[in-house]
A and B are shown apart, each in its own frame.
Chain A
Amino acid sequence: MSSAPPEIEIRIRARNGWLWLDWRGLIDYRDLLVLLVRRDFVARYKQTILGPAWAMVTPVVTAVVFGFVFGRVLGVATDGIPPSLFYLCGLLGWNYFNQTLNATSNTLRGNYGLFSKVYFPRLVVPLALAVSNLAAAGVQLFTFTAMFVFTVLKNPEFAARPGWGALLLPLLFLHLGLLALGSGLLLSAVTAKYRDFQQVAPFFLNLLLYVTPVIYPISQIPERWRWLAAVNPVAPVIEAFRATLLGTSGVQPGAYALSVAVTLVVLVVGVGFYQRLARDFIDYA
């Protein structure tokens, strides 16, 4: 016999715990993670004329429309930042959060064909989505940088400069990624059983955009409603994007700490529910 005596032992039985994670499996399947990221990326841009440039076009167009509607028509102040930069900066974090949540909230249903035929740690798929969306965020960051340089060259008096805090940017993306992943997985788990919740993610995200300081600075919220922004875990992170990249001063440390706490709770609950459902959802999906 050519095969070495196997040291692996797989025990299959009904589990009761909610937070059982196949850590070893996740490490074993890291190549799959990389390949899935690549697949997501290729599949999204294959046979498109603009390719990854789409990640550049949509936020720019959105920023222009926002600038017109909210800046010109409604006259929303942007803390002294040129509107295009202001919106691009807000969208940088928001789009990543939005896309990751949307994509991961369909993980179980969307991969039924795959999950009903082969086992691999189910977390690989949503993790790959969270990572592959970073590519679009990278392109967007590049767009923002270009716009920033352009603004500075055109208007030398424009004083905002990213500080050393900009180095924290990866952490901010990580924060949003984990929050989106947690909520996406939670939704994915509920949707696997009750299809009603399929309508929830886009709807919820639409509403959330309005209560998140993407199109307005947190300073525009009347004092007595400001707690709302503090409760919304996305808000402090979006403000932090602007603070690090444009040197604004909207971040309240208390609100940020609360956001981190909420993120961790959502993540644990989301992963728990997801893992629980992933164990046998193909029986009734």
Chain B
Amino acid sequence: MSRPIIEISGLSKRYALGEFGFSSFREETEKWVRRLSGRTPETTPETAPAEREFWALRDVSFSIQPGEVVGIIGRNGAGKSTLLKILSRITEPTSGEAVLRGRVASLLEVGTGFHPELSGRDNVFLNGAILGMKRPEIAAKLDEIIAFAEIERFIDTPVKRYSSGMYVKLAFAVAAHLEPEILIIDEVLAVGDAQFQRKCIGRMQEIARGHGRTVLFVSHAMTTIRRLCQRCVVLEGGRLRGIYPAEEAIEHYNRDAGASDLDVDTDGLPRAWGSTGEEARLVRIRAGDGRGLFFGEPLKVEFTVRVRSTIDAGMIGIAFNTVEGSRVMTLDSDADGRTLRLHPGLHTVTLSLPALPLSPGRYYCHAAIGQGRHMCDIVDNFALWEVHPGGRNDWESDRAFGGCRLRATVDHHPASA
């Protein structure tokens, strides 16, 4: 075996909890005064460190060989993003060390640094430079990038006139043509329409397999992990659970997936790409009546939304994905063409079904609030909800056919001979 291209040893990251404000300013000043006057700091009970800190990553060690494509999986809060941020040099670890032997490009977002006033062409150069490419490199690949993005006609138009689809395509195209030895990717693959997504994944496979590059890839989508990765790092509560072959890792991940509470505070959860939650934000999502979700029984999902600026043609939706990553059901408030008008303030919107058609199992839930084609807020994977077999007389769900089982209208006539 050759020398590992990535070597991580004892990597830890501690976050201080609480607001930075006057109290912390005073503390810091006091600390300085004490240091200058040579006195040792006294710990007061109310500033006991343990309660005010949080270890996002604790003593994580592993190494990766050149050319490997490795997935990083774990629940929300397992430390994936923190690990990515440290390896991308966006923040520093509290202790431990990571050694990367090669040029690194990290894609935690597509289109970082795009400027709306600049043309597509100028943004390709700017974005490429931000991602660490040299000018001649970008110039050499410009035609390829433009062709990949499928926007030849608009390359000299300022990107502020682009549709959001064109924007992400161009952004992904730049990213897809980076040629570092180590590529670190957050779930940015899900961009554009379905066809473009397939193209993106194809390109990732090409990069990973064909060019002998080392790729670290974070995702919740097990189907993509399965397609791209040979091994996976499984994180849990900031610690390394292990590094396993992809199939085994996915099993671990699914087995450990404890179902979440049916009442989820979504305010503090990380947001998906392209949404900020500025105009409207999903702050709480609640399902059921405290009893759990049952196949064939009424379903009620209540969203609490904080609206900052009036939303005219609004919609709220929730999607259910299987643990393998296939979307099996979506409920949208505008499915019948009626939109919501939401004024600034706090709102609750409820979506109901007379009978929950999802077959028993666990589902990753995603929710969004949008206005027309523009998504104001997207919370991916906000919960893993379990659907239980229906009540006493539920014998139908035992058959477990497919993702959804709906009640069709049945018309029966004896066939005339």
Contact = CB atoms under 8 A, between A and B. Distances in A.
A13 B117 contact: no
Given A10-B100, A11-B99, A117 B93 contact: no
16 contacts: A3-B181, A8-B102, A12-B92, A12-B97, A13-B93, A13-B96, A39-B122, A42-B117, A46-B117, A116-B85, A117-B90, A117-B108, A117-B112, A119-B90, A282-B91, A283-B15
A1 B135 CA distance: 25
A13 B97 contact: yes
Q: Is the interface of B mostly helix, strand, loop or mixed?
A: loop
Interface in B75-134: 85-104, 106, 108-109, 112-113, 115, 117-118, 122, 125-126, 129-132, 134
Contacts of B20: 193-194, 284
A2 B87 CA distance: 24
A87 interface: no
A5 B117 CA distance: 40
The size class of the interface chain A forms with chain B is 35 or more
B327 to A, nearest CB: 27
A74 interface: no
Contacts of A142: none
B117 A29 contact: no
B66 to A, nearest CB: 7
A15 interface: yes
B16 interface: yes
A3 B211 contact: yes
B130 A15 contact: no
B166 interface: no
The size class of the interface chain B forms with chain A is 35 or more
B218 to A, nearest CB: 14
Interface of A: 1-3, 6, 8-15, 28-29, 31-32, 34-36, 38-39, 42-43, 46-47, 113-120, 193-194, 279-280, 282-284
Contacts of A13: 92-93, 95-98
A10 B130 contact: no
Contact of B212 (A3, A34, A36, A117): A3
B25 interface: yes
Nearest to B119: A42
Contact of A6 (B5, B25, B93): B5
A6 B101 contact: yes
B192 interface: no
A47 B93 contact: no
B93 A14 contact: yes
Given A3-B181, A47-B117, A116 B135 contact: no
A10 B104 contact: yes
Given A3-B102, A28-B132, 11 more contacts: A3-B211, A8-B102, A10-B101, A12-B100, A13-B97, A31-B134, A39-B118, A42-B122, A116-B85, A116-B90, A119-B89
A118 B86 CA distance: 11
A13 B89 CA distance: 10
Contacts of A9: 99-101
A117 B186 CA distance: 10
Contacts of B125: 35
B5 A118 contact: no
B67 interface: yes
Contacts of B86: 12
Given A35-B125, A282-B91, A12 B98 contact: yes
Choose among B94, B113, B122 the residue with the greatest number of A CB atoms under 10 Å from its CB.
B113
Given A31-B134, A39-B115, A43-B115, A12 B90 contact: no
B93 A279 contact: no
A32 B95 contact: no
B60 to A, nearest CB: 13
A41 to B, nearest CB: 11
Nearest to A39: B115
Nearest to A279: B92
